[in-house]
């Protein structure tokens, strides 16, 4: 089984360029500044199968939302920078109300302007956390009381909020990691961390799961309630690009799909068939079948137990 630990760069090679070579197909990679603190020159375009960088994040600047105009007077939308606005005690991205989910299985609540610090390119610091300004696929759509759509945003749990930054090319990083952006590829972890320096305490487990400082993460999202010593990906140490829809992990009792707990699944009997299972979309727990962590109403035939051959007794 192949290990997914990152190899070390050749002596004298710029780490960021090496990161781009190791993770070909990654949408964004970052570089360390030069010794003087000035940004380095942009790297040469990658060749081969590497995907082009996505278009820069569009910060939605507005002049009014409904009957509220943008300004600094009482009752107006106060600009916070980078397309975010304070609407009284709430924060909007453009005209869209943005929400957070600070507690597990609780309704989302608005961000408050007091602890809100836009960083550019859609990222912002909120208290001791880092958020991305667009909702990720795993969050359900929400609405305001008046029926207008609202968006539940997702934390980058792995990020160090105090040192997190983005450069002019929208490449995110903190003192410990570069964050490779895969938000345009729903089948992959939204953000993948690559260690800066020796990556002490960081271990890739496979299929997008990593262990860092005694916790388990999928990409940059943490898994709640996991028994860390017994955790492992269901498919083992495969690179995340080879796991298809089977980004499952389990500990001694529970199962997760990406960072989400798969309710009702039992770790001991959970498996992913590899035969006749395109893109590894179907997983099984006994006779039940799952796709993307959700149980199928009608079990998939892949999960039906094989019929035992009938042995006729001689008379």
Q: CA distances (Å), 173 to each of 20, 51, 122, 159, 216, in order?
A: 14, 20, 14, 8, 20
In a domain, 212, yes or no: yes
* Residue ending a domain, choose from 123, 155, 187: 155
In a domain, 133, yes or no: yes
* Residue ending a domain, choose from 115, 137, 155: 155
| Nearest of 256, 197, 264 to residue 226 by alpha carbon | 256
Sign of the dihedral defined by the CA atoms of residues 98, 100, 105, 107, in that order = negative
Q: Are residues 148 and 164 in the same domain?
A: no
Q: Are residues 124 and 163 in the same domain?
A: no
pLDDT value at 96 more than 90 = yes
pLDDT value at 6 more than 50 = no
In a domain, 26, yes or no: no
107 contacts: CB under 8 Å, gap ≥ 6: 101
Q: Are residues 149 and 176 in the same domain?
A: no
Query: Taking a C-beta distance cutoff of 8 angstroms, is the pair 129, 105 a contact?
Result: no
pLDDT tens across 18-44, in order?
A: 333 334 333 333 334 433 333 333 333
Q: Are residues 149 and 170 in the same domain?
A: no
Q: Are residues 193 and 208 in the same domain?
A: yes
In a domain, 164, yes or no: yes
Q: Are residues 151 and 162 in the same domain?
A: no
| pLDDT score recorded for residue 122 | 92
Is pLDDT larger for residue 204 or for residue 311? 204
Q: Are residues 110 and 91 in the same domain?
A: yes
What total number of domains does the chain contain? Answer: 2
In a domain, 240, yes or no: yes
State mean pLDDT over 219-232. 95
Q: Which pLDDT band, with edges at 50, 70 and 90, does 163 fall under?
A: very high
Give me the residues paired with residue 100 across strands. 109
In a domain, 87, yes or no: yes
Domain hosting 87: range is 57-155
CA angle 222, 225, 227 (to 5 degrees): 100
In a domain, 64, yes or no: yes
**β-strand 96-100 against 149-152: which pairing, if any?**
parallel
Q: Are residues 239 and 143 in the same domain?
A: no
Q: Are residues 164 and 260 in the same domain?
A: yes
Quick one: which H or E segment has residue 21? helix 15-22
Q: CA distances (Å), 136 to each of 15, 98, 141, 184, 306, in order?
A: 28, 12, 10, 10, 38
Share of the chain above pLDDT 90, in %: 60
Q: Are residues 94 and 183 in the same domain?
A: no
Q: What is the distance between the alpha carbons of residues 230 and 299, in angstroms, rounded to a whole number?
A: 28
Long-range pairs, 270-275, Cβ under 8 A, ≥24: 270/234, 271/234, 272/234, 272/235, 272/246, 272/248, 273/302, 273/303
Q: Which pLDDT band, with edges at 50, 70 and 90, does 182 fall under?
A: confident
For the question of whether the overall pTM of this predicted structure is more than 0.85, the answer is no
State mean pLDDT over 61-67. 91
* Residue ending a domain, choose from 155, 183, 205: 155
pLDDT tens across 125-138, in order?
A: 999 999 998 887 66
Q: Are residues 205 and 135 in the same domain?
A: no
In a domain, 218, yes or no: yes
């Amino acid at each position: 089984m192949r290990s997914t630990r990152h190899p070390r760069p050749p002596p004298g090679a710029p780490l960021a360029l090496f990161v781009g070579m190791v993770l070909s197909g990654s949408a964004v990679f970052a570089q360390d500044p030069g010794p003087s603190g000035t940004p380095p020159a942009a790297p040469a375009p990658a060749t081969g199968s590497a995907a082009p960088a996505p278009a820069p994040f569009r910060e939605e600047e507005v002049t009014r939302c409904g009957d509220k105009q943008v300004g600094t007077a009482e009752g107006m939308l106060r600009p916070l920078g980078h397309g975010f606005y304070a609407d009284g005690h709430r924060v909007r991205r453009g005209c869209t109300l943005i929400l957070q989910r600070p507690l597990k299985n609780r309704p989302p609540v608005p961000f408050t302007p007091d602890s809100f610090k836009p960083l550019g390119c859609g990222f912002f610091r909120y208290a001791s956390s880092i958020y991305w300004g667009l909702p990720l696929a795993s969050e359900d759509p929400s609405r305001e009381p008046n029926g207008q759509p609202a968006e539940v945003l997702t934390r980058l749990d792995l990020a160090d909020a105090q040192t997190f930054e983005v450069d002019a090319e929208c490449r995110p990083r903190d003192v410990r990691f570069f964050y490779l952006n895969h938000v345009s590829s729903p089948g992959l972890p939204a953000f993948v961390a690559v260690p800066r320096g020796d990556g002490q305490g960081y271990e890739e487990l496979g299929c997008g799961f990593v262990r860092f400082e005694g916790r388990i993460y999928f990409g940059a999202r943490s898994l709640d309630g996991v028994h860390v010593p017994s955790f492992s990906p269901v498919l083992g140490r495969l690179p995340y690009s080879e796991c298809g829809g089977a980004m499952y992990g389990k500990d001694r009792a529970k199962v997760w799909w990406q960072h989400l707990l798969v309710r009702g699944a039992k770790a001991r009997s959970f498996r992913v068939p590899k035969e006749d299972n395109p893109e590894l979309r179907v997983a099984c727990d006994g006779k039940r079948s799952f796709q993307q962590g959700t149980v199928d109403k009608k079990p998939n035939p892949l999960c039906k137990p094989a019929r035992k051959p009938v042995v006729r007794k001689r008379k």
